[in-house]
Amino acid sequence: MRYRTIGSDPATRREVSVLSLGAMLFGSATDEAISYAILDRYVEAGGTFIDTSDNYAFWVDGGQGGQSEELLGRWRRSRGVGAEIVIATKLGARPLAPGTSYLDNAEGLSAKVIREPAERSRDRLGVERLDLLYAHIEDRTVPLQETVEGFAELVAEGTVGLLGASNHRAWRVERARALAAAAGLPGYEVLQYHRSYLPNRTDLVSELDPDGEPGGVGGDLLSYLRAEPELTLVAYSPLLKGAFTRADKPLSSAYDLPSAPRRLEALREVAGQSGATVNQVVLAWLLGGELPSIPLVGASSMAQLEESLAAVDLELTAEQRHRLDTTW
């Protein structure tokens, strides 16, 4: 395993593995025994960065979520896991009532909401401090200043370490960080967005935003990350839910760009040269390059996890990376 540092403040920054494990379906669609086995193997391989959310996975049973955090709490206690494992969670998108969703009844990002769900997440996870807490989705019904101050209060109290944002417009992230900096408060340092080797169409109307998909890495966010190298990008769904390799998982229309066939061919060519799988090449491409990301991978079987773990040791040659980067 390899590691990198996230965050800049010595009081809150953490060293994490360059591959993050998503626990979205642990405790719901993925049963406890398999979830424990995957978590154990990930840690055995040197993994230290686990991702969850307070609303995972409400859609499985029509509830409000919390199953993933609860399972991670049980796993931590049963294994004696302590601060050596960094667990990131999110708030803001938990449905306020069973049978609803973040689209029509989300908890939001008011100061009160930030405090109370964070406390519940700490209880479910069995931790005194949340290592990394994300604002999961935007809440434009609340003044951004209130959201910034609400998160900063928890950092000041020591119940939260690093702050992050997911599925936010780049200008909203920048505005929040500017407000925090002007007030001498901690701001977002980790950004979690969808990124893969195949770019997705961020112009398509989204459930979250009529102006397009805010959760995908587009030109604005890439430009922002280049200008702010202290920020960390965590790339979710890098393997497109199996679409790179499984015939029963076709690519969605979000990836229907003229470059897609050529980029898929480049992936297959590099995979053949390196003796790796296409999925491993995608992860290796994200891990290296000009704007390295931390891939966030899910796994419902040991084989899926092992494939992802092996990608950490895959070194693409300069020629291979040039081939991948310049194919459009």
Q: What is the DSSP letter of 26?
A: B
Take residue 36 and report the two structure tokens written for it.
């424990």
The answer, yes or no, to whether residue 70 has pLDDT greater than 90, is: yes
Percent of the chain residues past pLDDT 70, beyond the cut: 100
| Interval 294-302 mean pLDDT | 97
Going by the DSSP 8-state scheme, the letter that residue 220 receives in this structure is H
Per-residue pLDDT of 148-201, as tens digits, reads: 999 999 999 999 999 999 999 999 999 999 999 999 999 999 999 999 999 999
Residue 290 has pLDDT above 90, yes or no: no
pLDDT value at 275 more than 90: yes
Over residues 276-289, mean pLDDT: 97
d(CA 292, CA 217): 13
So what's the pLDDT on residue 151? Answer: 98
The confidence score (pLDDT) of residue 247 equals: 87
Q: How confident is the model at residue 316 (pLDDT cuts 50, 70, 90)?
A: very high
pLDDT digits (tens, 9 = 90+) for 235-261: 999 999 999 999 888 899 999 999 999
Give the rounded percent of residues in the chain with a pLDDT score beyond 90: 95
Interval 192-216 mean pLDDT: 93
**Residue pair 7/189 in contact by the 8 Å Cβ criterion:** yes
| Cα 129 from Cα 252, distance rounded (Å) | 38
DSSP track, 234-280:
EEESTTGGGTTT-TTSPPPGGG--TTHHHHHHHHHHHHHHHT--HHH
* DSSP 8-class letter at 289: S
SS3 assignment, position 64:
coil
Element (H, E) at 306: helix 302-311
At 109, the pLDDT band (50, 70, 90 cuts) reads: very high
Average pLDDT, the chain: 97
Residues 6+ apart with CB under 8 A from 47: 1, 17, 19, 20, 21, 309
Q: What is the pLDDT of residue 289?
A: 84
Read off the pLDDT band of 284 (50, 70, 90): very high
A 10 A CB-CB count for 227 gives 9
The DSSP annotation for 169-201 comes to -HHHHHHHHHHHHHTT---EEEEEEE--SS---
Query: What is the identity of the amino acid at 184?
Result: G
